[in-house]
Amino acid sequence: MKKLTALFDLPVLSDINVKAMVLDSRKVTQGDLFVAVKGHRFDASQFVPQAISFGASAVVLETDLENEHLNIQWQNNVPVIHYYHLSANLSALAGQFYDNPSEKLTLVGVTGTNGKTSISTLVHNMLRTLGESSAYIGTNGFGKNDAEPVYFGNTTPDVVTLHNQIGELRRDNIKNLAFEASSHAMALGRIYNVDIDVAIFTNLTHEHLDFHGDMQTYAYDKSLLFSTLGNNLSEAKYGVLNKDDSYYKVISKCLYQQEINYSIVDKTADFYAYNIKQYKEDKVFKTSFTLNSPEGTFECITNYIGNFMVSNVLAALIAVWVKGYSVEQLVAILPKLGALYGRMEILGDDLPIDIISDFAHTPDGYEKLLEATREMRKGKRTLLVTGMGGGRDISKGPLIGEIISEADYVVITTDSPRDEDVEVLMGSIEKGMTHKNYEKVWFRTDAVKRIIELSEPGDVVILASKGREDYEILQGGK
């Protein structure tokens, strides 16, 4: 329990204790502080009575009127505290409530259109292999050390949940966290007041323009991770940037802390991978490359395929390297790192077909997926499942359709259509198809069954756009 006066220096609140901060009125329990913000879809003020009926000890309510700041109204003996521009200040309040736990951990934030899950998972896996305690937060959920992750719904949680989860890690004595920092999270202030030690930029390509409007705004929102990295000048901070991306210079200009860049193209990069070769050994696809680093040149082997996975490995390696490990130590553990869950993951070594599970859901993601698998698909028939999600930027659909037409046969489906018309979602991809060897199957489970039915021994089946996610979000919910 925490004194409410720890957040609001108002003597009238001195006898009130609160257990936790809660944004969702449906999840309020006895003794909680309900936080009622004005969101994009709902104004939570309408749920205040429900929160009080569930046992909230206090409510903090967003107001747009400065003269109402910290005014208190009482409902059923529960204080409702008006807070001017609560949404913009919520991360600071949450940090204060949970005793700013991010300051006690080493945090690695990863942003970019593609690669966030792979890199954050790689950082986590490297640290675990080195014997350190670690956690990760992102698309695959919230995972601590070697435990199964718990799924929460967003790539980056809301500010209250994020601070609460970091506080949980601190209580569990876990020293490191790698998390995905989505552009939505930065635009909506979810990571304000989070003390990040290493910020990684992967790439910026066509995605989420329904939310950001244009690529310039999208780039600006991504850059917030780096422009705010210098809040705590008493500690070393690092920006790890992909020098091969066209938005590299834009992000670099926003970084005021030390930059460490990586590349598979530019020899002048701090970490440069070249001589990249893909091969198969004992039924396992591998990639080898030569690495030029500040500590010399090293030969590397990974259990992943694709040039973009080499880039991801470089980013993760740098994030761990700045903790004080030698490049030699990190190169030595690369062959020990296993497959990434639903990210360029090759399933079933003993099957008569090769099955690849991947999360590619953008034009750039599909290009990299098909490029990475081109060598293993040579001389074989390629069958591919793709889908379009509801509540997403469907303007990318025709581009995806054009790119995946490289496959011999395509089954178009949906990915969590939510409350949108499934025909419109599938049709956005269909518009870009350059051949007629495809069909539409709106439920993903049926689409996967269909592509397997169509496959023959020797084929390569690519299950794209959803990775290993085992759920759909339909109109009635998850």
Q: What distance in Å separates the CA atoms of residue 478 and residue 466, rounded to the nearest whole number?
A: 15
DSSP label at residue 380:
S
Neighbours of 180 (CB within 10 A): 23
Q: What is the CA 303 to chain-centroid distance, rounded?
A: 22
The pLDDT, as a whole number, for residue 396 is 85
The token pair that represents 439 in the structure block: 């069909």
Rounded CA gap, 229 and 242, in Å?
A: 17
Residue 157 pLDDT? 72
Phi, psi of 152, rounded to the nearest 5 degrees: -115, -20
The pTM (predicted TM-score) of the whole model is 0.80
Q: Which structure tokens are listed for 370?
A: 């098909």
* 271-287 exposure pattern, b = at least 16 Cβ within 10 A, e = fewer: bbbeeeebeeeeeebbb
- 359 vs 468: CA distance, rounded Å: 8
Give me the sign of the Cα torsion angle 151, 157, 160, 165.
positive
Q: How far is CA 223 from the centre of its chain?
A: 15
What is the chain's pLDDT, residue by residue, as a tens digit (478 residues)? 888 998 898 999 989 999 999 999 999 999 999 999 987 677 889 999 999 999 999 999 999 999 999 999 999 999 999 999 998 889 889 989 999 998 899 999 998 888 888 899 999 999 999 999 999 998 878 889 988 888 766 666 788 888 889 999 999 999 999 998 876 666 566 677 788 999 999 988 755 445 545 667 777 677 777 777 765 567 789 999 999 998 899 888 888 889 999 999 999 999 999 999 988 787 778 899 999 999 999 999 999 888 989 999 999 999 999 999 999 999 999 999 987 766 778 776 778 888 988 877 788 888 888 888 888 888 999 999 988 877 777 788 899 999 999 999 999 988 877 777 888 888 888 999 999 999 999 888 899 999 999 999 999 999 987 666 665 565 655 5
* Crossing angle between the packed helical segments 363-377 and 307-321, to the nearest 10 degrees: 110
What φ, ψ does residue 244 adopt, rounded to 5°? -85, -10
SS3 category, 320: helix
CA distance 106 to 313: 19
CA distance 136 to 125: 10
For residue 229, CA distances in Å to 98, 141, 418 come to 21, 24, 35
> Which residues lie below 8 Å from residue 308, measured CB to CB, with a gap of 6+?
114, 115, 368, 371, 372
Contact between 290 and 265 under an 8 Å Cβ cutoff? The reply is no
Q: Are 162 and 194 in contact (CB under 8 A)?
A: yes
Positive or negative torsion for Cα 179, 183, 186, 189: negative
Which residues does 222 contact at the CB level (< 8 Å), separation at least 6? 111, 112, 183, 186, 201, 204, 247, 251
Q: Calculate ∠ Cα 149-153-155, nearest 5°.
A: 80
DSSP secondary structure, 131-187, as one string: T---EEEETTEEEETTSPPB--SSSS--HHHHHHHHHHHHHTT--EEEEE--HHHHH
* pLDDT number for residue 470: 62
pLDDT at 432: 92
Rg (the chain; Cα; Å): 24
Give, as one character, the DSSP assignment of residue 64.
S
Q: What is the dihedral of CA 311, 314, 316, 320, to 10 degrees?
A: -170
Residue with token string 């903090």: 60
